[in-house]
């Protein structure tokens, strides 16, 4: 059986939080252990520049995300783990794809359209392109290059990214057609239905843009403090409580096994107090994170080691990328003169 090639990128603008862990990091590390998969995971630092022009933040986030994945046990012998910006072939491919990509396709991208709409909502005379860089506009082409560079078959992403995978398919087809080749396989988005989308401190989806996250590796005390801040209703201890729509119970379920979930459900019926629930939740989450947290702290203090791992990853990725780009260069007319 041919192996599935699973590829995904993590934009390096923030600090990983519990929602990232449950929704993306944990399933990706699990998938990388499946012998039927080849896994390509990368720090999408070129993408980070679209949203963030603060070099310190970009660098800090690259370090944190790399250390997080390694601390959580990503096996870099059985996966390819790299920084996008280390693979200059990706940037080169981006241009080849840009030159076959219809502008109209990009006009339809949700993220770009939302930015334009936002500008237009400011009323008559507003500049629809205010604050919109070419980076934001052509972002889906870069993403297509990420995916097509390695001929990924499966791309695990959130729902908001489905359109980008469809665009990658469109661009791949167009390139194959124009250059009468079968260079690119058509990738498919993989949306894990079973994976939880965690709610944050205020009950909305946990997201950096809502400022309601629980960072994955905060010190124990801070973790407890944040868990205590999670919004609940005002039911008193002793009153039966609903698990449905309860942020605490949802986070509990993302970390607990089946019997712990059943047990907690019972405690809700019995009217567990919110304070007690929060203490139990802290114990559970903290037990899970204790070991990787200390590994993470160790790695954050040993960037020489992490740098070495990333360079090895880049070497592995480039072995393949450099061969493919050579063929692609020839296909567009950039072969040797002799
Ligand atoms: N754009 C993705 C996001 O914001 C990150 C990303 C960049 C990505 N390149 C990718 C995901 C390639 C999958 C494949 O989540």
Ligand 1 center from residue 188 Cα (angstroms)? 13
Look at residue 194 in the predicted model and tell me its pLDDT: 73
Instruction: Please tell me the distance between residue 170's alpha carbon and the centre of ligand 1 in angstroms.
Output: 17
Per-residue pLDDT tens over the stretch 42-59: 999 999 999 999 999 999
Q: Nearest C-alpha to atom 10 of ligand 1 is from which residue?
A: 9
HSE at residue 37, side-chain half, CA atoms within 13 A, is: 23
262-321 confidence digits (pLDDT tens): 999 999 999 999 999 999 999 999 999 999 999 999 999 999 999 999 999 999 999 999
User: Predicted confidence band at 330 (pLDDT cuts at 50, 70, 90)?
Assistant: very high
Mean pLDDT of the chain: 96
> What's the CA gap between 67 and 215, in Å, rounded?
14
Q: Which two tokens stand for residue 59?
A: 């660098």
Q: Indicate whether residue 17 lines ligand 1 (CB < 6 A).
A: no
Which residue's C-alpha comes closest to atom 4 of ligand 1? Answer: 11
What CA–CA distance (Å, rounded) separates 45 from 84?
6
**pLDDT tens-digit profile of 157-199?**
988 899 999 999 999 999 999 999 899 999 999 987 777 789 9
**Residue 43 CB partners (closer than 8 Å, separation 6+):** 9, 10, 12, 62, 65, 66, 82, 83, 84
pLDDT at residue number 158: 87
Max CA separation in the chain (angstroms): 84
What are 148's two structure tokens?
């097509």
The predicted structure's pLDDT at residue 123: 85
Q: Verify whether ligand 1 is closer than 6 Å to residue 65 (CB atom).
A: no
Would you place residue 2 in the very low, low, confident or very high pLDDT band (cuts 50, 70, 90)? confident
In the predicted model, what is the mean pLDDT of residues 92-102?
Answer: 98
Output the pLDDT for position 273. 97
How far apart, in whole angstroms, are the C-alpha atoms of residue 18 and residue 212? 11
Q: Is pTM, for the whole model, over 0.75? A: yes
Cα-to-centroid distance, 88 and ligand 1 (Å): 17
What is the rounded distance in angstroms from the CA atom of residue 316 to the CA atom of residue 151? Answer: 15
Q: Which is nearest to 8 in space by CA: 212, 136, 190?
A: 190
Q: Is the CB of 155 under 6 A from ligand 1?
A: yes
Atom of ligand 1 nearest to the CA of 11: 5
Can you tell me the mean pLDDT for 78-98? Answer: 98
pLDDT the model gives residue 195: 77
* Atom 8 (ligand 1) nearest CA: 9
* Whether 248 contacts 278, CB under 8 Å: yes
Q: Pick from 6, 9, 41, 192 the residue to mutate for probing ligand 1's pocket: most ligand atoms within 8 Å of its CB.
A: 9
Terminus-to-terminus CA distance in the chain, angstroms? 40
How far apart, in whole angstroms, are the C-alpha atoms of residue 156 and residue 158? 7
pLDDT for residue 33: 94
Closest atom of ligand 1 to 143 CA is 9
pLDDT band at 117 (very low <50, low <70, confident <90, very high): very high
Q: How confident is the model at residue 89 (pLDDT cuts 50, 70, 90)?
A: very high
For ligand 1, atom 14, the nearest C-alpha belongs to 8
- pLDDT at res. 282: 98
pLDDT band, very low/low/confident/very high, at 232 (cuts 50, 70, 90): very high
Q: Are 269 and 246 in contact (CB under 8 A)?
A: no
């Amino acid at each position: 059986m041919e192996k599935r090639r699973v590829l995904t990128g993590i934009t390096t603008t923030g600090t990983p939080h519990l929602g990232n862990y449950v929704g993306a990091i944990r399933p990706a590390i699990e998938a990388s252990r499946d012998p039927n998969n080849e896994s390509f995971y990368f720090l999408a630092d070129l993408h980070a520049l679209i949203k963030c022009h603060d070099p310190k933040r970009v660098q800090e986030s690259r370090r944190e995300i790399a250390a997080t994945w390694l601390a959580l046990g990503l096996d870099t012998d059985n996966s390819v783990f790299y920084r996008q910006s280390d693979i200059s072939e990706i940037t080169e491919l981006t241009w080849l794809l840009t030159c076959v990509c219809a502008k109209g396709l990009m006009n339809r991208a949700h993220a770009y359209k939302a930015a334009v709409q936002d500008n237009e909502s400011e009323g008559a005379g507003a500049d629809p392109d205010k604050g919109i860089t070419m980076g934001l506009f052509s972002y889906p082409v870069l993403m297509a290059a990420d995916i097509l560079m390695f001929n990924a078959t499966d791309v695990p992403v959130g729902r908001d990214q489905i359109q980008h995978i469809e665009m990658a398919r469109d661009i791949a087809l167009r390139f194959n057609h124009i250059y009468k080749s079968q260079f690119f396989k058509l990738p498919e988005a993989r949306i894990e239905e079973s994976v939880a989308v965690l709610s944050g401190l205020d009950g909305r989806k946990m997201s950096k843009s809502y400022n309601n996250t629980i960072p994955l590796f905060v010190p124990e005390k801070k973790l407890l403090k944040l868990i205590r801040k999670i919004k609940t209703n005002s039911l008193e201890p002793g009153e039966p409580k609903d698990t449905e729509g309860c942020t605490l119970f949802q986070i509990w379920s993302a970390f607990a096994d089946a019997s712990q979930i059943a047990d907690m459900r019972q405690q809700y019926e019995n009217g567990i107090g919110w304070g007690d629930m929060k203490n139990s939740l802290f114990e559970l989450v903290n037990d899970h994170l204790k070991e990787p947290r200390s590994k993470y702290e160790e790695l954050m203090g040993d960037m020489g080691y992490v740098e070495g791992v990333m360079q090895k990853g880049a070497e592995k990725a480039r072995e393949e990328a450099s061969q493919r780009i050579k063929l692609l260069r020839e296909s567009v007319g950039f072969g040797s003169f002799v």
